[in-house]
Every structure is written in structure tokens, then in C-alpha cells.
Structure 1
Amino acid sequence: MNWKSIFVVYLKELKDQLRDRRTIISTIVIPTVLMPLMFFGVSVVMKKVITKAQDEGTSVMVVGAAGAPQLMSELQADKKFRVLPEKDDYKQRIADKKMRVALELPENFEARLQKGEAVTASILHYEGEIKSGIGARELDSFLQKYRTKLVAERLTARGLPPELVKPYDIRRQNVAPPEKVGGAAIGGLIPYIIIILCFVGAMYPAMDLTAGEKERGTMETLMCSPTSRINIVLGKFLTVVTASAATMVFSLVSMGATAALGGSFLTSKPAAVTAGAATKSVASAMPTIDPAGVLGLFAMILPVAVLFAAILLTVSLFAKSYKEAQSYVGPLIMVVILPAMFGMLPGIDLNLKTALVPILNLSLVSKEMLSGTWNWDFIAIIFGSTCVYAAVALALCVKMFNREDVMFRA
């Protein structure tokens, strides 16, 4: 092994890759543009969709409205709702998205309430449909306020304070530091994106440096050069690792810039969004992550970049053409995506077993590092095991380069 020869091969291959448009796109353009496009694009679209949905108002049909004149009066006075005339096909209208929700009231609703009977009001909606979901939450909030008002009126009529049915208040208070909150919120998504981009960044150079050279007929010329094959394979390997690492760096820089600009973007253009059981604001501060965790993520993903480079070189080497290499390498991205996805699922925690599963272990430990939690024992196990996997893959890659039947497949 001659490091000078390895370096010569590395520089030669690196220059060739910098001239390749596909490599530039996968290594620089996609990682740099993807994060801002995802964040700002999705934010703008969400803002427009939800603002439009709120401006339209919730279309609601009340079934049994004749027995609830007081409730109907207050519902019609609320600007959030558009009360539609009562029709028999109200369920089908919701299913066809012609209206958002319906309110089913029992016969003589208010008269039975005055008698003290227990009655049930049903909210009919389209499960999973955004506008119907917003309407159902708004209608539920309205009915809760109306019920509270009725209770207060009954207590006042009997000379009792309204606090009688509400002896204490409940409030939630976050005790976790901002970086832990941010890590829990987006800590699983960041390594997921970076892992995929790291794989994609290594994929095209690996195919071009093996199957691509076979197709162009330059592999034989390179093999005839006065240097051993291990120098050639290590030079190509370092080129692929560089492309993968560059993709990761551009991803992290783009992610940091997006987070910094995104906070000011959201706070300068607030828009209230009802997105769950409680009202949330799009103008809330961007999630905070531990800066040391970002550096830790970079260090932990380096062995994975080596692993990706060695595997992709080995697989691509079996192909006779670039197109054939794409058919071999393409399905591998699912092998990368699935463990990275499992790392985002609730209930899958970092333990001794998951610490030995490639990619999944990186996703889990990165999520904890980004939230400021450093489990050094698991970090050492994950880093060491990934290095072992990468070394085995690199050894296999070198072995394949020394096989004539693989290098010169007809």
C-alpha cells in the first residue's frame, strides 16, 4: 500500500467527479436546497391552506335544531360557523366534503336540559380530513363553552358560585430545557434526512467509478497502470467517502441556516393554527437543539459514510454498465430508509441490542445527542461496531477488486 499512489488516484478521481453534473447535483445542490425548500415550502403551503380554511368558516348542519333555539342563536352569531339548512343527507354531504361537520341533537334538546335529563349531542365529521377535523374541534370547543355557560346560569339561579363545579385550575408547565424539547421534537428527523442524503451522495460517484469506468472502457487502462490494485481501490474509496461526507456537511450547514432563518420568518409572519386538541401557533420559536449534539452527529455518521462507500463500491463493481449498477444499487436505499424510520418510532429506545443494529443505532443515539443526552457507553459501542462493519465492507471491496471475473465481466 503506497499512500502517495493512493493520493494520486484520489485526486484524479476527485477532479473527474467534480466535472460530473450528477455528482454535483447529488452532493451539493440537493443537500443545500432540500432543507430550505422543505421547510419554507411546506410552511408557506400550510399557512395558505389553513388560513383559507379558517377564512371560509366551518360549515355545520344542525339536526334537531328546532328543539334548541338558544343554542342555534349563539351558534349563528359565532363568525367561525356557517349554519346550513337541515337536510336528510347530512352524513353523505360530510363524506363528499360538501360540508365539514354536522351536529346531531336529541328531540326537545333544551326542554330536556331544563328538566335535568342527561342528553347527548353528537358531532359528525370526516376522520382524517383536515378541514373537517378543524371544524369538529371548533364545534367541540363551542359546545364546551355553551355547557359551561348553562352550568354557571343554573348555579347563579340557586345562589351558588360558579367555582363550585370548578374547585381548582389545571395548567401544564414544561420542566425540560429547550434543547431536550427540540431534540424530542425533531431529533429523529434530522439523522433520518442526513443518513439518506449521505447514502445518495455516495451512490452516484460509486457507480461512476466502477460500472461507469467499465462502460467507458477506462477500467482496463487504469488496471494496467504501474501501481497495485489496493492503491487504486483505496483512491476510489476515498473519493466516494469525500462525496458522502461533503453531502453530510452541506446538509448540516443548510439545516442550521434554515433553522436560523426559519425562526425569524415564522416570528415575523405569525399565523394562528388550530392543529391539535389545543391551539398552537406557527409563530412559536424554532426547536432548539444542542450544538454539541450536531458535532456528535457529524462524528458518529463518519463511519456510516465509510460503510456506505465500501458497500456501494462493492455492489456497483458487479455491474457491467451504469444502468445495471443503478438496478443493483436502487433497492439498497430501502435497506437504509427502513432502519432510519424505525429510529423515529415511539417505543424503540437505545439499548444493547439496538446499539448493534447498523443505521438504527445511529438514528437513536443521534436523537439523544441532539437533545443533550450523552450515553457514553452506547456511543462507544455504536461507534466501534460501525467502524467494524465499515472495515469488513472495505475488506470485501478490496477483495472484489482483486477478482478478475468481477473486474472484467463480459
Structure 2
Amino acid sequence: MFEVFLKEIKELLRDRKTLFFVIALPIIIFPVIMALVAFLASQAALEAEQEVHTYYMVNESLAPKFSEQVFYHKSFKKYEGNEVFNTVEELEQAVKAEKIDVGIVIPADPKANLYAGKTSDWQVVFNDAQSINFIFDRIEKMAMEYADELRAIKLTELGLDEEQQKAILKPIVVSKVDTADKRENIGEKVGAFIPYLLIPLVLMGAIYPAIDLGAGEKERGTLETLLLTPITRTQLVLGKFLTILASSIACSLITVFSMAVWISIASGFAALDVVKNAFSTVTIWDFSLIFALLLPIAVMLSALLLAISIYARTFKEAQNYFAPLQMGVFIPIIISLMPNMELTAKTALIPITNVALAIKEIIKGTVDYSFVSLIFAASAVLAGLLLAFCVKWFNKEEVLFR
């Protein structure tokens, strides 16, 4: 068994493509993905922040101070065309035709309505389907500032000073005292996506060796030669399994190490204080536990991939079988991202989902080690069953020579 393992490892180390996916990709992927996401998000926000929108205001004379605020705002410019729009419907058509970006309808004098005890209902017409825009927020902010001025004038006329006005407008102020620290807050948001990167890389580290050691051997005609050697089929399949597992574990170890290194590097930049505060308390023990949780997944996937590869006739057929499997691995990870999904005694029994939830809890710093033990136990049982199935599968003539 170990002779087969050493033989396959040597051949694996000669394959540059496999080495790239096992070693180079995990080291590169974290900085590339993190940098790309941060860059695209910052660029999109910057473009949206700097964009100037053309506006048209109906009955702007009814709110002169508000109209002046919008006119001088850096993000808005007044419509300079000759068309006149008087209704919401006409403004909708103008926005759809891209003649204007936003229309504002002031139906009545807001000051007169206030004195009459009525609320003014203003309407803002714009396309809210854009991924990032600040149109409504900016207009609403200026409208609220104008409303505050009108209210202050009215309350002053009623004989109320500034303190009394504040008490009337906000008789009760509710403040939030958050028991979660920064690590837990950010870990809840960021920690859920780390398994989305880690687990597929564990799969990727096992795929290419699995294809080569199963379907690849069939296609090259070298499987028959191996079967003639004086070792049992069980020893042969276990040797191949250990090779795939070693590749997957190496990918897991390099991935976690890469994550730890790049997070450490990112934390050193002053501009990334949020990252520093979130991960400053994530210890070597936490990263070691994350790696340990990936091990049973590596065993399960290695056994499953080898069984599929042994069944396939050719390299291409094995790739076709692995495509839906790759998609299937994402489903339990996505389940872990669903709202209110937490690590419990029940979710600790769901393969892959349990590990994804546990990694999130580790990043948050709230992991329950009793559930981690349950995850290891459940994963070990499932991994053992899959390995036993793989051995039995390899001993079937109709599978090896189909």
C-alpha cells in the first residue's frame, strides 16, 4: 500500500498542472480575490459617489430653500432642455427615456400645509434598479433638513425654546448597547464566506490526482499492469486514496496558511483597521482548528472522487462526472449562508454545512467545542463509509473493466 502511495506521489510531483492547483492556486487565490473584491467595490462606490445626476423639479417655487439646496449640490444639475413635465407619469417617461435621472414633485406649499396641520407628500421619480446609487438618500436628506427648519420655525412661534423642541420631537431616545465585540460582529458577516473559498479548494486539490489515478490509469492502459503486481486490490486502492488525500490535505494546509498570512499582512495596513480589529484575536489555535475541520471533508471527497474516477472509462468522462459534484459541494455551503442558520446539534450532522458553520463560529470567536466534537464524529463515520464503499467499488470487475 505504501509502495503504491510513494509511486503515485512521485508521479504526482512531476505533474505541473496538479502542483499549480494544489500549491500555487491556494497561495494566490486569497490575495487576488480579496484585492479584486475590495477594488471593484471601492471603484463602484467611488463612481456612484462622484456621479452627477440631471434633475427636474415640479413646483420648485413652493419650496425655494430646498430648491436652492438641490441646485447647488455637487451631485445634481438642473435639466436644461425645453420640455416641461408636470406629472409623475411624465417624469417617469422622462427618466425611462434618459432625458433626466431624477424627478421631484412638490404638490403643495409645505409651509402652508404645516400651518394647516397637513403632511406634505413629495415624490421622487428615479430608476432604483442600479446596483449603487445615492439619489434618493441625498434628496431625502435635503428634504428632511428643510422639514426640520420649517418645524423649528413653527415650534418657535408657539413659544418653545430649542431644548423643549428636542424633548417634544424625541421624548424617548433609545440607545443600543451591543454585547457582541468587533470580532463577533465582523465574523458574522465575513466568516460565512471563508468556507465558500476554503472547501472548494479542498475539492480542487483532490480532483486532478483522482482523475489521473483512476480514469487516467484506464485511459493509458497502466491499470492492468498495476493489477498484476503482487499486492491486493485493497492495498492498491488504499495507496491511491492516500495519494489523493495527501494532495487534498496539502491544498487544505496551504490554503489555511495562506489565509492566515494574507490576513496578517492586510491587518498591518492602517487603512484596514476593521480587518485588524476583527482578526487580531484569531489565534494560531483557531487556524489549526479550521484546518482540522477540513481534514474529514478531504477524506470524504477523496474517497468519493476516487470511486467516481475508477468508474469512468476515460479522463474526459471523469471530468463530466465531477462537474455536477463540484456544483453539489456548493449547495451545503450556501445552506450555511442562509439567515438564522446556526451551529446546533442538528446542523452539526449535516455534511459540509456543519464545517462551514463551525468555521464561521471560529472566526466569530463563539464556537462551541462540543458541537465541533460532534462534527468530527459524524464526519469520521461518513468518511469511513465512503472509503469502505470506494474499496468495495474497486474490487468489482464490472467497474474496473466496463
- 2:3 pairs with 1:11: no
| Contact 1:100-1:131 within 8 A present in 2 as well | no
In the TM superposition, what is the alpha-carbon distance from 1:87 to its structure 2 partner? 4.7
Within the alignment, does 1:125 sit opposite 2:120 as a pair? Answer: no
Q: Matched residues in 2 for 1:186 and 1:51: separation? A: 22
Q: What TM-score, normalized by structure 2, do the two folds share?
A: 0.89
Partner of 2:230: 226
Which of 207, 228, 245 is the matching residue for 1:203? 207
Q: How does 1:16-27 map to 2 (within 5 A)?
A: 16-27=11-22
Alignment check: 8 A CA contact 2:55 2:104 kept: yes
Superposed counterparts of 1:303-314, under 5 Å:
303-314=296-307
1:178 aligns with 2:182: yes
Amino acid at match of 1:226: P
Q: Alpha-carbon deviation of 1:29? A: 2.5
Q: Give the residue type in structure 2 aligned to 1:255.
A: M
| Residue 136, structure 1, aligned to residue 136, structure 2 | yes
AA of the residue aligned to 2:60? A
Whether 1:290 aligns to 2:282 is: yes
Identity, % of aligned positions: 34
- State the distance in 2 between where 1:129 and 1:99 align: 15
Residue correspondence of structure 1 range 150-299 to structure 2 within 5 A:
150-163=150-163, 164=165, 165-167=169-171, 169-265=173-269, 267-268=270-271, 284-286=274-276, 287-288=278-279, 290-291=282-283, 292-299=285-292
Counterpart mapping for 1:70-81 below 5 A: 70-81=65-76
Q: How do 1:310-389 residues align onto structure 2 when only pairs under 5 Å count? A: 310-389=303-382
Counterparts of 1:302 and 1:87, CA distance in 2: 68
Q: 2:215·2:318 contact (CA, 8 Å) conserved in 1?
A: yes
> Which position in structure 1 is the counterpart of 2:113?
112
Contact kept? 2:333, 2:353, Cα under 8 Å: yes
Alpha-carbon contact 2:206-2:305 (below 8 Å) kept: yes
Which AA in structure 2 matches 1:57? V
Query: Matched residue of 2:313: which SS?
Result: coil
**Runs of 5+ in structure 2 lacking a partner?**
none
Instruction: For 2:328, give the aligned amino acid.
Output: V
Give the Å deviation of 1:31: 1.7
Task: Write out per-residue CA displacement over residues 345-403 of structure 1, whole angstroms, 9 at most, x where no aligned residue.
Answer: 11222233322111111112222122122323322221101101000100111111111
- The change in CA–CA distance for 1:259 and 1:150 in structure 2 (over 3 A counts) is farther
2:64 alignment partner AA:
P
SS of match in other structure, 2:198: helix
Q: Does 1:69 align with 2:64?
A: yes
SS of 1:123's equivalent?
A: strand
1:145 corresponding residue in structure 2: 145
- Matched positions, count: 389
Gaps of 5+ in 1: 1-5, 269-281
Alpha-carbon separation, structure 2, partners of 1:356 and 1:116 = 61
Contact 2:249 2:298 in 1 (8 A): yes
Cα offsets for 1:30-86 (capped at 9, x unmatched): 222221111111212222222222222344332332322221012212223323357
Of 181-190 and 285-294, the range deviating more from structure 2: 285-294
- Residue 375 to residue 131, structure 1, CA distance change in 2 (3 Å): closer
Partners of 1:259 and 1:82 lie apart in 2 by 43
Q: How much has 1:319 moved relative to structure 2?
A: 0.5
> How far did residue 98 of structure 1 move?
6.0
The Cα RMSD (Å) is 2.3
CA 1:149–1:172: 2 relative to 1, 3 Å:
farther
Q: CA contact under 8 A between 2:191 and 2:360: conserved in structure 1? A: yes
- CA separation in 1, counterparts of 2:41 and 2:101? 19
Q: Scaled by the length of structure 1, what TM-score is found?
A: 0.87
Higher mean C-alpha deviation, range 386-395 or range 84-93: 84-93
Rate the CA distance shift 1:260–1:141 in 2: closer, same or farther, 3 A.
Answer: farther
8 Å contact 1:39–1:258 — kept in the other structure?
no
Alpha carbons 1:210, 1:316 under 8 Å: kept: yes
Q: Who is 2:91 aligned against?
A: 90
Which stretch of the first structure deviates more once superposed, 39-48 or 163-172?
Answer: 163-172
Asked if structure 1 preserves the Cα contact closer than 8 Å seen for 2:256 and 2:290, the reply is no
Instruction: Tell me the SS of whatever aligns to 1:343.
Output: helix
- C-alpha distance in structure 1 between counterparts of 2:213 and 2:29, whole Å: 26
Matched position secondary structure for 1:330: helix
Counterpart residue identity of residue 17, structure 1? L
Alpha-carbon distance in structure 2 between the residues aligned to 1:236 and 1:105: 75
How much does 1:162 deviate? Answer: 2.9
Say if 1:366 and 1:14 are closer, same or farther in 2 by CA, change over 3 A: same
Structure 2 counterparts to residues 8-47 of structure 1, below 5 A: 8-47=3-42
**8 Å Cα contact 1:293/1:371 also seen in 2:** no
Distance 1:360 1:33, change over 3 A: same
Letter in 2 for 1:335: G
Distance change (3 Å), C-alpha of 1:131 and 1:298 = closer
Contact 2:69–2:142 (CA under 8 A) maintained in structure 1: no
- Supply the distance in 2 between the matched residues of 1:30 and 1:96 (Cα, whole angstroms): 47
Native 8 Å contact 2:26 2:258 kept in 1:
yes
The aligned residue for residue 277 of structure 1 is none
What one-letter code is carried by the residue in structure 2 that aligns with 1:123? V
Deviation of 1:135 after TM superposition, in Å, equals: 1.5
